[in-house]
Structure 1
């Protein structure tokens, strides 16, 4: 049975009580009274964490909040189909030392995080090619180690090293994680926050927002979520990220224009753009 030290036990047994959904230092607001606590417990126990949810639900902000909470710097990897072993582990380069050329290895984010006890955040891990990710298997299971193919070095992870990965399921350009990789993670679904929680978040970030703008933004977001759930809009139309963009712009221009630039023009489907703009117009008086 895996053992945890006293500090880890204290972290794992925090009592969050009624204030569990308050915004944590780092910026993430949990949509439930237990989600953030459960993720922290799993990370404390050394489990690799997989965050699943729609774009703009706050997965990256959640990872940043965990980094702040645990007092650990975070190495980030933005995954794409071009991701290769060098992008993960590092690369060799030639440098000049004392008048002669010397080959040095520049450590990548995975190696740095393992050695320094940092958190490793892998965003959109299901964007990577299937043949790239098996190199991570050894550091994601009980071994917590890997052999660097570029140097031959066997790297054992620092005791505080942790892994957080995020995926947007079902999006264009993504592929299902293979079972061997997925089985190494403890998985959490990260939904959009809504209702009173979303209102509290909006007011806490924008305390000077006027009542009319707040009501319009919350009402529009609620209807966008319904349309997304019905399959009439992409999930991104109801993302928290777009909501913040609109709110930021609304302090400097009319709300209708803020929606045009902060949400509508980001959408690629013409019919969806028209649907969203018509919806927005019904809630905003020019």
Structure 2
């Protein structure tokens, strides 16, 4: 055991030892990289006790926690204690040691119920094995990250009532510098390490990041920068940015409201904490990959080019800028922007609460304001306010992927413990067990590819724009496995394809910039949605169509061609305005789709939630 194993964790180590001395079970709670596992190992070493390690995940069934009868030995000897293989829980109970469960909030509920019995009664009863009592030193120590919503579930009150909780935040900057120095061979100068740690710590408080990096990011930056410098025969300054991008962009999570990518944010933070890397090209140099300047053309060819008739570009509605006087026609604008270039965020938030449709229209027009400061403020605020609105109006009901058991399936893993009775019975009868008798463990929910198709024909203002923007925000917040957004009038515009990594705020911003014009090409839009889904890898493929479903002049054969295109989709939900939904209902009936009516802007997220949580069989 080295003297630096629990750097900066003396108070937590004392609390953990005291809780164990008192006979309590303990949950260590904190973000990744805060030394929870290291702390337990150090305490176990100091107490001279062992511990059984369990990694919490959805595959951790009660049988894997408790143990199992060896199938081959059962067939030869029958059920007896000597053919039972102890799982980590029984190992720790029999030996009187610690059971360490990592990622506790990823463990299935039925497995946690097994732990409840062991914690409260200090014994468990295993079918065909009997009662197993815990020796004196048995304790449960679990670790969990309460800030990760992906693949986790809320811990029950029954489990929380049986444990003591030790909160573990990030260590101090000085402690993290010491950790990186000890973890890095041939460690660079402490000053450089200090700036690396400062960079990593800045990711945890960055307004555009939902999750920052732990000290492991700083350790990897130091190691990768050193390896790069040796390969490139340069100093650390020349390798630092690449090392930071490699080490951090996969660790951080960009907030849905951000318009920037992880690479852009890390590059900006690096430039704030480090001087420009050595070897940068001078301002006069051509940027990498840029062709050399072409020689000037002759006077004759220049005159010929000047005299050539060039087609005048056709103006588009979405290119038209909006003056301040036009914006002032909105009742809320004077409060939202009392002075040129200013935006009162509180006033904009209040206006959005009072009048969603009118305020969304105002924000969309502000994104095309002639005042550049006003445009920039709208870009910064609009998507974030919409996300806040959606989260308050309709909380995510997506839940957590879980595994379940079924008989007779082929798309899963054979559950030997659950199938053992059938296998033994078949052996007694001298026949192989049939597929229908075997129990298979499989995922209870499918992965999702979602394509949102927005009708932008006609007047894309007021309710239409508000519904589209709020629905796009609702889709982005749910983070489907694959997500695309199409907008259509006569032609189809791809705002986000399935492989796009654009942040959610960028998607909402693109929707807000839509300006309605042109005829409806509904068949073409549905065909493009089907084509987009051909590259999807998810098992469930859903198209959400936001439209009144009027077939336009560019839909050959009218409603028949639209119905054929809709019928070709795996799953279609149509969201139509409540006062203009007859044709949407008619299309849904012909195509076997589902149709929901939107009376208010708030209906969109709720209808989307109903679609994604409804059974598909």
Residue 234 of structure 1: which of 210, 214, 220 is its match?
210
Instruction: Give the match's secondary structure for 2:264.
Output: helix
Instruction: Give the match's secondary structure for 2:143.
Output: strand
CA distance in 2, matches of 1:46, 1:105: 29
Partner of 1:131: 110
Instruction: Give the match's secondary structure for 2:110.
Output: coil
Partner of 2:221: 246
CA distance in 2, matches of 1:182, 1:25: 33
CA distance in 1, matches of 2:131, 2:26: 24
Deviation at 1:221, TM superposition (A): 2.1
Using the size of structure 2 for normalisation, the TM-score is: 0.39
Partner of 2:135: 158
Using the size of structure 1 for normalisation, the TM-score is: 0.79
Partner of 1:261: 246
The correspondence of residues 195-214 of structure 1 with structure 2, limited to 5 A, is 195-206=173-184, 208-214=187-193
Instruction: Give the match's secondary structure for 2:227.
Output: coil
Q: Is the 8 A contact 1:242 1:262 kept in 2?
A: yes
Q: Is the 8 A contact 1:213 1:255 kept in 2?
A: no
CA distance in 2, matches of 1:138, 1:225: 38
CA distance in 2, matches of 1:127, 1:117: 25
1:109 and 2:88 are equivalent in the alignment:
yes
Deviation at 1:102, TM superposition (A): 5.7
Partner of 2:267: 277
Residue 122 of structure 2: which of 136, 144, 152 is its match?
144
CA distance in 2, matches of 1:283, 1:248: 18
Structure 2 unaligned regions, length at least 5: 229-238, 255-259, 278-617
Deviation at 1:84, TM superposition (A): 0.8
The correspondence of residues 76-95 of structure 1 with structure 2, limited to 5 A, is 76-95=53-72
Q: After superposition, give the CA deviation of every residue in 1:185-240 in whole Å (9 maximum; x if it has no partner).
A: 0001110112222223333444733134213212202322221xx4x3133x3212
Q: What stretches of structure 1 move > 6 A for 4+ residues in a row?
A: none
1:176 and 2:154 are equivalent in the alignment:
yes
Aligned residues: 256
Deviation at 1:25, TM superposition (A): 4.9
Q: Is the 8 A contact 1:26 1:66 kept in 2?
A: no
Instruction: Give the match's secondary structure for 2:205.
Output: helix
- Give 1 or 2 for the bigger CA radius of gyration: 2
Deviation at 1:54, TM superposition (A): 1.0
CA distance in 1, matches of 2:123, 2:20: 17
Q: Is the 8 A contact 2:177 2:190 kept in 1?
A: no
Q: Is the 8 A contact 1:30 1:36 kept in 2?
A: no
Structure 1 unaligned regions, length at least 5: 1-22
Check 1:49–1:203 CA distance in 2 against 1; reply closer, same or farther (3 A cut).
same
Check 1:59–1:234 CA distance in 2 against 1; reply closer, same or farther (3 A cut).
farther
Check 1:169–1:96 CA distance in 2 against 1; reply closer, same or farther (3 A cut).
closer
